[in-house]
Amino acid sequence: MQNNKLNQVIWGVIGAGDVCEVKSAPAMMQIQHSTIKMVMRRQADKAADYARRHAIAHWTTNVDELLADPEINAVYIATPPASHAELTIRAARAGKAVYVEKPMAVSISECVNMIEACREANVPLFVAYYRRTLQGYLKVKELIDKGKLGEVRSVIIDMKQSLQSDIIARTDQNWRVNPDIAGGGYFHDLASHQLDFLDFLLGEIVDVKGIALNQARIYPADDMVAAVFQFQSGCVGSGNWCFTSSAISEKDSITIIGSKGELTFNSFGNPMLIHFKTVDGSTETFSFNHLQPIQKHLIQLVVNELRGEGRSPSTGISAARTTRIMEIITNPIRN
């Protein structure tokens, strides 16, 4: 597959749930040379309903049926993380290109198995870290790449969210706080976006230490995480994530400090505001609204690569680095 250009990318979607409603699957139907042929969900009524509402011709409750379809040449895996490795390996062995939701898997060992399976099958592996393609985040990268901050010295992530926060998903059956399904808690679900973007922005993190605790004991997963880390460039960073704070303490910011200035931006919600100030006292604010389907820019680049017309910035190799960092932070003894 990596050496064979596709004319039309024909998707099979495994796990046609909430993330597919507005963020991703609609883009696959909007992009030229891309279409969805079949969606799979375990509940027949929900699979049929999704296919009907999104004008998709076929639906199934059987993964094997989807993977056996000879016309489907790319598979989008939108299930919870605990199933990502198994489904990626099965899709690769069926000869399909793979686009999998984030976080990539529940452990770095699973990521390695996914990468190896796709390499052996000669199919590409992409991961849905779409912030690498959004306009606001590319503006942050532009400011840094043009030297507006000078030499980057440090990064500070500060995230505090209450249980009533708009950022936190509130459902009766919330798999995001079940470590057996999600690999961790909200840290794995949300901080993965932040850490992956910093990897894209500043390069690989080469040293990291962390603490992860379940302070409030409201759900099984860690709700308090702190970390310090160093990039290959020598830039250092720190992060503090609390997902059971009070509402008055809610924060969502990343601050990047350089030798000539600093900038701060939020990672979630609209608008994305970038506050930029320099040592000469000048200040500037940039505002971006990232519209749905929010994954469209990344999926476009995935389609382009499958057609031999470019490269996706988010791959299994890059995404595995983020999983490795999260694993070290939340399992310091094991690592």
Q: Domains in the chain, start-ordered, CATH in brackets?
A: 9-128+294-311 (3.40.50.720), 135-289 (3.30.360.10)
pLDDT at 1: 43
* pLDDT tens for each residue of 114-152: 999 999 999 999 999 999 999 999 999 999 999 999 999
Q: How far is CA 59 from CA 23, 27, 29, 84, 119, in A?
A: 19, 18, 15, 20, 29
Other CB atoms within 10 Å distance of the CB of residue 166: 11
pLDDT at 3 over 80: no
pLDDT at 332 over 70: no
Compute the Cα dihedral for 98, 171, 267, 332 and give only its sign: negative
Reference 303, options 21, 6, 2, 3; nearest CA is 6
**For 8-19, what is the mean pLDDT?**
96
Close Cβ partners of 108 (under 8 Å, ≥ 6 residues apart): 320, 323, 324, 327
CA 120 – CA 73 distance, rounded (Å): 17
Which tokens belong to 112?
């390695």
* pLDDT tens for each residue of 57-88: 999 999 999 999 999 999 999 999 999 999 99
The model carries a pTM of 0.96
Close Cβ partners of 29 (under 8 Å, ≥ 6 residues apart): 35, 36, 54, 55, 56
Q: Place 4 in a pLDDT band, splitting at 50, 70 and 90.
A: confident
Amino acid letter at 196? D
Q: Specify which residues 229 forms β-bridges with.
A: 208, 237
Average pLDDT, the chain: 96
pLDDT at 224 over 90: yes
Phi-psi region of 55 (alpha: psi -120 to 50; beta: other; left: phi over 0): left
**For 273-280, what is the mean pLDDT?**
96
* pLDDT tens for each residue of 22-55: 999 999 999 999 999 999 999 999 999 999 999 9
* pLDDT tens for each residue of 164-212: 999 988 655 689 999 999 999 999 999 999 999 999 999 999 999 999 9
pLDDT at 169: 81
SS (H, E, C) 205-273: EEEEEEEEECCCCCCCCCCEEEEEEEECCCCEEEEEEECCCCHHHCEEEEEEEECCEEEEECCCCCCEE
pLDDT at 335 over 60: no
